[in-house]
Structure formats: C-alpha cells, structure tokens
C-alpha cells in the first residue's frame, strides 16, 4: 500500500488507492504515525510521498532522510503557520516508513527558464495534482487548483513546464496577489506582507456575494489557463480543489473548452501514485529527478 500526504492550506489530506481521511491543520498537531491505520495496517505501508510548505530548498523527489530543514528555505514568508504540517512531517520521518518528499517548483526546478522571473511557481502538493490529472488525461495538460488560493500548472509531453503561484496572479478565497492598496498598507506598517497576502482573496476583496466571488475566481482561473495554453494549445484543461465544481461552468464558457473536474483529494491521490511509481523503480516524475 502506498500513501500520499497533502499539506493543504486548511487541512492535511491522507490517501491511498482505496481510502482517504483528512485532519484540519490544528488537529494535525496531535497526529501520530499510528493514525495511518485509518487507511491500512501500518505494516502494509510500502511507501509514502509527503509535502511540506513551499518545498523550495530542493528540486528532486528526495528520500526524507536526506532532506534538511523539512525542505524549505525558511518558514517565514507567504502562508499561515500552525504547526500541524510540521508535526506530520516529523512523525512520518521518525516512523521509519520509506518516504519521499516532493519539491515545489522554484528557480532551482527544471522548468522553462522564463517562469523563473519569479522565485516560486508552485507548492509541492500541486505536483500530485498534475500527476493524477496526467494519469487520466495524458501528457499535455493545464490544471488549475482553486480553493483558498489558486495555482495553475502546465505539463507538456509529460514534463512540468511552469506554473503561476498564488501570490502572482489569480486569487482564491483567502489568498491573492498584493495590489496597490495592499502594498500601501504594508509600507504604512498596517500589516505585514504575509498578512496582506492572506487577506487578498475574494472573501476579503469582493462584496459579500457568493455568486460574484465564485465568478471572480472562475474568471482569473480561466485567464491563467488561457495564458498557459499559449505555450501548449493542444493541452487538455482540468480543475481541482474545493472550488472546482463551482467554477467549472464559467471556466468552460470563458475558454470555450471542455474541462475535467477533480475534487479536494486529487493531490493526495496523485501523491500516492507518485509514491507507488518511485518505490517501484521510477527515476523521473513529470521531469523531476528522484534522489533515494
């Protein structure tokens, strides 16, 4: 049995080929490796693929024993720090179960160099989403993950080309790019840049109208997809994340394309597939090397 662990914005999601469960980031502070028994007997676990935060200090899918500082340059920066993800990572490392850590996409990644105008392109769990979608739709896909934040990736001929991170382009419900007003608030020391990022999603910037907020996320998600389709017009489009079913009709209408819809478990299921393939001898996943 192989397991994928998704370090999401609001929850940790755990999945095998046959089952799944999730813990809020707060609940995850009490996690122990024995909790994996909710998926299967612990002795049946052959391998795990796990994510942690931005995954920005390494660029290969790497044995957890080789990872330093949990795979991040720093815990400071964009995102909410609760402690649940840290507890899960450390418990899995101490468990002795064979585990690989998935990198994010950043300037050290083997993506199109033009995307490296920005230091960070995607957090690691999106690699699991892309792998799951490619398993279903083929080697040319654009996938937009829309929930608390929105991140969109391009895969061409089975390799990751690049991505738009949450702080660059499309907003989610909670997070988004810093606009002029946000920059002014930061400069005036009314908030930190991270606090501004965490309050730049449509739940904070748009009127209290669920329909309008959904349509806003849909428009920006479609714009990210359209931008990446410039680099691969034949790519199929998929949506993932908690907002995917809600925004799909508008995204399809805006793009004039059929869109595949995945749920919140797409990342952890894709990570489980990565674990299976890596521990079965795979040495490259979507163009990312493997270091065991």
pLDDT at 81: 64
Establish if 185 belongs to a structural domain: no
Q: How far apart are the first and last CA of the chain?
A: 19
Residue 246 lies in a domain: yes
Give me the CATH number covering residue 103: 3.30.420.40
Domain with 67, as residue range(s), is: 2-172+208-291
Evaluate whether residue 284 is within a structural domain: yes
| pLDDT value, residue 17 | 87
Write the Ramachandran bin of 90: left for phi over 0, alpha for psi from -120 to 50, otherwise beta: alpha
Task: Name the packing angle between helices 266-279 and 125-137 (round to 10°).
Answer: 80
| CA-closest candidate to residue 201, choices 239, 121, 146, 272 | 146
In a domain, 181, yes or no: no
Number of domains in the chain: 1
Please check whether residue 198 lies inside any domain of the structure: no
Q: Is residue 31 part of a domain?
A: yes
Residue 260 belongs to a domain: yes
C-alpha to C-alpha distance for 184 and 263, rounded to whole angstroms = 37
Tell whether 122 is covered by a domain.
yes
Q: pLDDT per residue over 87-129, tens digit each?
A: 999 999 999 999 999 999 999 999 999 999 999 999 999 999 9
Do 273 and 6 touch, CB atoms closer than 8 A?
no
* DSSP string computed for 219-257: HHHHHHHHHHHTT-TT-EEEEESTTHHHHHHHHHHHHTS
pLDDT of residue 84: 85
What is the predicted pLDDT for the residue at 80?
Answer: 61
**Low-confidence residues in the chain, pLDDT < 70:** 75-82
Output the DSSP codes for 200-214.
-SHHHHS-S-HHHHH
DSSP 27-71: GGGG--GGGGGGTS-GGG--EEEE--TT--S--SEEEGGG-SGGG
Give the burial string for 183-196 (b: 16+ CB within 10 Å, else e). Answer: eebbeeeeeebbeb
Strand duo 288-291 + 259-261: pairing: unpaired
pLDDT for the residue numbered 77: 58
């Amino acid at each position: 049995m192989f397991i994928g662990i998704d370090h999401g914005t609001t929850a940790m999601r755990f999945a095998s080929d046959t089952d799944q469960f999730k813990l809020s980031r707060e609940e995850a502070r009490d996690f122990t490796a024995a909790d994996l028994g909710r998926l299967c007997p612990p002795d049946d676990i052959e391998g795990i693929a796990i994510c942690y935060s931005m995954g920005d200090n390494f660029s290969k899918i790497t044995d957890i024993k080789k990872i330093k500082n949990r795979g991040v340059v720093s815990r400071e920066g964009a995102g909410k720090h609760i402690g649940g993800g840290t507890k899960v990572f450390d418990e899995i490392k101490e468990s002795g179960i064979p585990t690989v850590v998935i990198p994010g996409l950043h300037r050290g990644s083997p993506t199109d160099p033009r995307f490296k105008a920005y230091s960070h392109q995607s957090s690691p769990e999106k690699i699991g989403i892309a792998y799951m979608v490619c398993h279903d739709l083929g080697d040319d896909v654009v996938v937009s993950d829309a929930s608390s934040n929105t991140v969109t990736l391009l895969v061409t001929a089975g390799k990751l080309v690049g991505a738009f991170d949450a702080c660059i382009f499309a907003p989610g419900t909670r997070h988004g790019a810093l606009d002029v007003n946000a920059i002014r608030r930061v400069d005036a020391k009314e908030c930190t840049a991270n606090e501004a990022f965490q309050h730049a999603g449509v739940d904070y910037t748009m009127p209290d109208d669920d329909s309008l907020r959904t349509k806003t996320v849909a428009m920006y998600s479609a714009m990210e997809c359209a931008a990446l389709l410039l680099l691969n017009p034949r790519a199929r489009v998929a949506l993932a994340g908690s907002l995917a079913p809600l925004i799909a009709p508008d995204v399809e209408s805006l793009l004039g394309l059929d869109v595949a819809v995945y749920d919140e478990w797409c990342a952890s299921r894709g990570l489980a597939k990565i674990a299976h393939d890596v521990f079965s001898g795979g040495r490259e996943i979507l163009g990312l090397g493997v270091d065991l």
